[in-house]
Amino acid sequence: MNPKFDAYIAKAAPFAQPILIHLREIVHQGCPGVEEAIKWGFPNFEYKGILCSMAAFKQHCSFGFWKGSIMSDPK
């Protein structure tokens, strides 16, 4: 876990904090080998390059996948 992620979440609006914490947990659960990095001022998750990112704004949060093609569900 990257302490810069903790600082980013702590600075986010109160409504966004539990959302960002939950997203972070889900990403780590789904991809145990993921690494955290702050790029362009917001949290990114890296696995074979940037996998996904999240951000908090005044009135909303965002989450997006960069490499959906490497994601698969064997079910």
**Between residues 37 and 48, the one the model is more confident about:** 37
The rounded distance, in Å, linking the Cα atoms of 20 and 18 is 6
pTM: 0.85
> What is the average pLDDT value for the chain, to the nearest integer?
91
Distance from C-alpha of 20 to C-alpha of 55, rounded to nearest angstrom: 8
Band of residue 48 on the pLDDT scale cut at 50, 70, 90: confident
Contact 45, 33 (CB under 8 A): no
| Length in residues, the chain | 75
Task: Say which residue, 68 or 58, is predicted with more confidence.
Answer: 58
